[in-house]
Chains A and B, each alone.
Chain A
């Protein structure tokens, strides 16, 4: 018999081309990369220091020297804004790493093994879900003192749940697929099946969830800052900036508005990225 020639189906389109064909992903990525770029290169972008005060030039409106004006202590608002992006984005990304990994892994364990493993993991997730997120954040923040620590601890405690729930459902449905049965017939051990077979299949969905989850986390960081139990001054943070500017809302409204807009901007960027990725992977 002749070798069956593969009909040369279109080779995988280049990754770049596929991104270009997904406008939401493209726009979101550009917005987010821009933000990261500004945060990373903050010291090169602005000549001022974030806590550099100038009491002779307080509450100035935007000018060519101070692009977004100055605050009540004469600090350059634009400088504080981009340094705050550094603080808040850094916490947002770092706080997600551990919950993302543990959530995916626990979810896959529960979904793949089912039975008592699933019962135990589901029991824990259901217990945590019963408490409102902000209640836990505020309790932990008070217990651990103001600062970033509270956010990290809370997120390690409860951040994994959303990922576990998503990957549990997916893994439970993949478990019934014949490619899993085939690996089992081969004798491949369960943990290897989870890591090698299930992980690449649940990861796209988990990344999409990660994007929306980061938006929620950012809002939480900012909220804590606003309430005064998050990032402690003088470290710049969008939340404290909003609350500091509140007293001058009638005379210098931009003090609160600008960091607020920054939060919204980040939220839109991440949502677009998440949406775009979901689109991209669905189409394939």
Chain B
């Protein structure tokens, strides 16, 4: 099968500091790659490079067979969408939900002007929000609802790859769970290809097909989920797994389905 997204020898340097050190990774279509690692390991930098927000010092990103250059085409921009960590700051406070959802639809001509309203409602329905939300502003919603709106916005332009950068970390645990359920539903309904970043192994277990581990800007392990959780290859992965607080019913076997 053709890879959906491929990263080759990606390096990002901030002066002396190396945020990403020759990272290579491939994501197959319709799979979710869960990226774990402690904070500062370069997960978000990787996400931002793929999204085109940061230019890499070296290496390249391939979408299908196209190399994504420094200046991306409109189509390439459309193809990769990102969901950010903090729903409080990822929606423009002065825009209504209608404006937020329709911007990409109109800019990328996903639907014509007459179809925008209908499509916005469908998008809200996808993320289980009432269509009355359209006329409101972000501050009128809770964190979880805002994150749903951000997901709807990312889905609006029908991207081929979605990057979710810690999308559940800023949410309450109870909201986290319903957010993960939403991601699982979307994944199976829309056949999404996703790069899902989290430092929470429980979340990664619930959502990923493949797990990749980052440490200090380097990729230390990439393995299918079951293998990673049962027989981690590297000592660092074992360390991460053993650091998960133990509960009567283990998170790693209970999981969320």
Contacts and interface: CB of A to CB of B under 8 A. Distances in A.
Interface of A: 1-7, 9, 12, 177-179, 181-188, 196-197, 200-201, 284
B130 A6 contact: yes
Interface in B44-77: 48, 51-53, 72, 74, 76-77
Given A6-B132, A9-B140, A179-B90, A186 B53 contact: no
B91 interface: yes
A177 to B, nearest CB: 5
Contacts of B240: none
A6 B145 contact: yes
A184 B81 CA distance: 10
A185 B77 contact: yes
16 contacts: A1-B181, A3-B130, A4-B129, A4-B148, A6-B141, A6-B145, A9-B140, A178-B89, A179-B89, A179-B92, A181-B51, A182-B82, A185-B51, A185-B80, A187-B77, A284-B139
A201 B51 CA distance: 24
Q: Which of B81, B82, B150 has the most CB of A within 10 A?
A: B82
Q: Which of B89, B92, B139, B182 has the most CB of A within 10 A?
A: B92
Shortest beta-carbon contacts, A-B, top 8: A187-B77, A200-B94, A178-B90, A178-B84, A179-B92, A178-B89, A185-B51, A185-B82
Given A181-B84, A200-B92, 10 more contacts: A1-B128, A4-B129, A4-B130, A4-B148, A6-B136, A6-B145, A178-B89, A179-B89, A185-B82, A197-B95
B233 interface: no
Contacts of A187: 72, 74, 76-78, 107-108
Contacts, number: 87
B89 A177 contact: yes
B103 A188 contact: yes
B133 A6 contact: yes
A182 B107 contact: no
Nearest to B90: A178
Nearest to B83: A182
Nearest to A183: B103
